[in-house]
Structure 1
């Protein structure tokens, strides 16, 4: 199951880097530094959201690590555009650090005529290798606000991470400490989470998950063709195609609705799309283990790494908690057709 040909030009250099990266982030970051941020993929809601989602899926189909690196960079570009903030400078690489964890707190406060950050932020992916980041912090009013920071600014310390993951091995996520580090506010209190674009970014991640499945499904379909008498194998290949096609339709429908600005509740759309795609990913990884088996996972380096990368990436989705959140947004009539 392969993606349809796409006419995406700004991302071609990054796709070349993805094809040769072998799971290493160095060539990927080099490609991002060499490409003007606004030329990579269209912004969500720009009338070309389907192209954005297809582009993310296309990157992940080449290499899942490459998708994991570019997606937050593109999300940062979109967030800054939504806030009417200056576009990231050419040569910069960006992350979005918005996770929270018990025991870690990041506070923003005013000192004279500037904002500074104090405290610790967990789960900062690639923090030691990026030039810049968008970071959420608590404000004196008790709200949560986003700030742009330079990772080389005074008081910014990337702490050592106990990163032992076999998937996304070089996309190290660890804590960053801030000690009166200068920061520039992006939007007001609550803006980051309340805006529809927060949900569009979450759907973009699902597009990456979807694209990461494609080579695995292609391998299963190829094996089924070689064994026409194996009806169990054929059934599994057919099931996966059906699940992935449902995910594609969900992503395509979401892109159209985003561009038409016809989304009554962005959270409902995002949860539904992400859940549909995550279910397809789980079925794909199960089939890789059960059908392709230990030989493929032990001796096919590309397939083994892809499965490990994809399994860690999709673990961002928490089925029970996210479905419960979805239920909290539901109201009568949303399923009317």
Structure 2
């Protein structure tokens, strides 16, 4: 056993750790997002327009590259779709949009109208792209307990650093943003944001990002399974992962066709989104577990891309609220409704 002073000396002589890599990665993701927008890479077909799968396929592929990039791209493209549906202000060329619509308890964002102008006051958590978005669609409470969507320029907002603790999805620059009388332009009528079929189409599109993240997590396991020395246990794990991914991909493809066939059916869209999100979230959970158990700690310690993909996916799929969302799905397809829809399976 080495003496304590020898251990200390060796540590001091080692190359110091590199600080700031997380910030640099966040900057790279922001640059990739603006590059995609400028090049037209995010000029995607609108949901329900006949090419929904092409839209989701692009989000899936971006998620395989980086889930934070996909999260920001999904927010931007969702905002463009919402503006199209609700008749909001057109997006300026080169602008970067987000959708900031979380409403956790205890953090109200209030919209008031004074002299014909709307202004926002308060705080909004979970604002992805808080420092890269030039514009955002923001939901806020108005009089009589109603909620409305507003378009804002983000140069008037105040992102609060240090309000995202997790390493997972850190590069999505998701922060709490404060609004102190920020000018806002209404997008649609009160309740219009959640009352349209497109709300559910967008929710299903998020699952396409989760799916791409699961593909990225599974990639090292696929590479290991392709080696001659792969044993039966590893091949069994990879077979299970392949099964899960195939099933989730099939569900997404079918859902995209149903959305294109029934773009204005809100009730169908609600059921479809709940099913798709439940299936894909469960697939992601299984892929994370199977891959982690098969590969062990080595790749988490030595493969930065795999470690990041794993951490990101663990956080991102928490947008699915497990039993709470399954309860909502059960309510939507309660026995009376379900018996009439059994031919859907």
TM-score, scaled relative to structure 2: 0.85
Specify the alignment match of 1:178 in structure 2.
179
- Kept after mapping to 1: 8 A contact 2:46/2:52: yes
Residue-by-residue CA offset, 1:67-97 (whole Å, 9 max, x unaligned): 1121101110110011123431112111111
Task: Return 281-290 or 260-269, whichever deviates more.
Answer: 260-269
Give how far 1:22 is off: 5.2
Cα offsets for 1:101-146 (capped at 9, x unmatched): 2221111121112211122212212212211100001111321110
Where in structure 2 are the equivalents of 1:44-59 lying within 5 Å? 44-59=47-62
1:267 corresponds to 2:274: no
Q: How many angstroms does 1:239 deviate by?
A: 1.3
SS in 2 for 1:89: coil
Task: Show the counterpart of 1:298.
Answer: 301
Rounded Cα–Cα distance in structure 2 between residues aligned with 1:95 and 1:165: 20
Aligned mate of 2:102, from 99, 108, 121: 99
The answer on whether the counterparts of 2:34 and 2:96 sit within 8 Å (CA) in structure 1 is: no
Deviations for 1:286-335, whole angstroms, at most 9, x for unmatched residues? 12211111111111111111111111111211111110111121123222
Count of paired positions: 314
CA contact (8 A) 1:228 1:234 kept: no
Contact 2:237 2:291 in 1 (8 A): no
Structure 1 portions without partners, runs of 5+: 1-20
TM-score normalised to the size of structure 1?
A: 0.87
Structure of higher CA gyration radius: 2
The equivalent of 2:34 in structure 1 is 30
Q: Does 1:322 align with 2:329?
A: no
Q: Does 1:336 align with 2:343?
A: yes
**Which of the pair is proportionally richer in helix?**
2
RMSD of aligned residue pairs (Cα, Å): 1.9
Off by >4 Å, runs of 4+ in structure 1: none
Unaligned runs of 5+ in 2: 1-23
Asked if the contact 1:36–1:90 (Cα under 8 Å) also holds between the matched residues in 2, the reply is no
Contact 2:56–2:208, Cα closer than 8 Å, also in 1: yes
Distance 1:229 1:102 in 2: 49
